[in-house]
Amino acid sequence: MSDTPIEIPADLIDLHRQWAAADQAVHERIAQIEQHEAEHGRPPLPTTPDDPGRADDQLAKLRQARGEAAAEVRARVAEVAGDPSRRWAVQAALLEAAAEPAAV
List, for residues 3-49, the tens digit of each pLDDT value.
Answer: 678 899 999 999 999 999 999 999 998 888 888 888 888 776 665 55
Q: Which domain holds residue 76?
A: 10-42+57-99
Spatial separation of the C-alpha atoms in residues 85 and 82, rounded to whole Å: 9
Specify the number of domains making up the chain. Answer: 1
Examine residue 2 and state whether it is found in any structural domain, yes or no: no
Examine residue 83 and state whether it is found in any structural domain, yes or no: yes
Examine residue 51 and state whether it is found in any structural domain, yes or no: no
Q: In Å, how far from its chain's centre is CA 99?
A: 14
Spatial separation of the C-alpha atoms in residues 58 and 33, rounded to whole Å: 11
Q: What is the pLDDT of residues 37-91, one digit of tens each?
A: 888 887 766 655 555 555 567 788 889 999 999 999 999 999 999 999 999 999 9
pTM of the model: 0.76
